[in-house]
Amino acid sequence: MAIVNRGFVGRRDRMADRLPPGQYSTLDFPVLSAEPTPVLPLDSWRLTIQSSDHRAHSLRWRDFLALPHRDITTDIHCVTRWSKFDTRWRGVAFDDLLAVLPWPPDAYVMAHCYGGYTTNVPLTDLTDGRGWLADTFDGEPLAPEHGGPVRLLVPHLYFWKSAKWVRRLRFMPHDAPGFWEERGYHIYGDPWREQRYS
């Protein structure tokens, strides 16, 4: 007869429902990048928002800071299998960014970054409080190694979609692959469906 100690039958990890398949939780914040970390002085930083017909709207650092900022606490999940719970960010909700655009946006966004990295995201995954441009992590200005001064934050998708060092957001009528998507990563990247690779 097997002996089962009390507390082990039916016990469930209280974080298990927050951990996508194939992931493990970590207290660290690993740094992974496709290119070297750029040094971006705030007085020369620009964010350009471009329409599919090549209209452009640019924000300087002071313009970005003047946009409404919100606090976000969320879990993040990297395609390399680590997940970090309850990360604390501050940034501009994509909904607030769209409110300052002088034209209606298209259905997809390609994020272009200092250094050449790109990634694609459907607009529906950025609106309704699902996507942000983050400039603060854990109460401090976002460090360059984590994408500062500003990174895209799309926490419900694998973290390669949360592009570091964003410089341009290009709206597109149709989806197109970015840097990792062209190299075999999934076009969408849902961690709950383990959409790691195409």
Taking only the tens place, the pLDDT of each residue in 50-91 is 999 999 999 999 999 999 999 999 999 999 999 999 999 999
Residues 96-155: pLDDT tens digits? 999 999 888 999 999 999 999 999 999 999 999 999 999 999 999 999 999 999 999 999
Give dist(CA 102, CA 104) in Å, integer. Answer: 7
pLDDT in tens, 8-63: 333 335 577 899 999 999 999 999 888 789 989 999 999 999 999 999 999 999 99
Residue 117 and residue 36: Cα distance in Å, rounded? 11
Q: Per the CATH hierarchy, to which homologous superfamily does domain 69-197 belong?
A: Oxidoreductase, molybdopterin-binding domain (3.90.420.10)
CA pair distance 89, 140, nearest whole angstrom: 9
Amino acid at 193: R
